[in-house]
Amino acid sequence: MAFDTLGVFFAAFVALGGAIGYFKSSSVASLVSGLVFGALISLSAQLAVGNSKGYNLAPAIVCFILFVVMGSRFMNSKKFMPAGMVAATSLLMMLRYALRLF
């Protein structure tokens, strides 16, 4: 069975970031959004493995939404950690899945 290792690592990175945000500043919003986006990335990435090219659209959209949200937070705060790093890695993962569409 095929496995999207990079997609699962990215999903774990996002979920772990949400957990760290919760433990560091008691932010329930960070925990919930990290776990939800991590689960969505993991599920959509695994669906894309071994299926037609159209299945790569779902993880690309999830990464795009995460890029927009965290990119706007980075632009407002001008702090690279954590918003800038998540936005940058989301952009890279979005491009990875978008290139698989063609």
Cα–Cα dist 99/38, whole Å: 21
pLDDT tens-place string over residues 1-15: 578 899 999 999 999
CB 50 within 8 A of CB 2: yes
Q: Report pTM.
A: 0.90
pLDDT tens-place string over residues 21-67: 999 999 999 999 999 999 999 999 888 887 777 788 999 999 999 99
CB 48 within 8 A of CB 100: yes
CB 62 within 8 A of CB 89: no
- From the list 80, 65, 79, the residue with the least C-alpha distance to 33 is 65
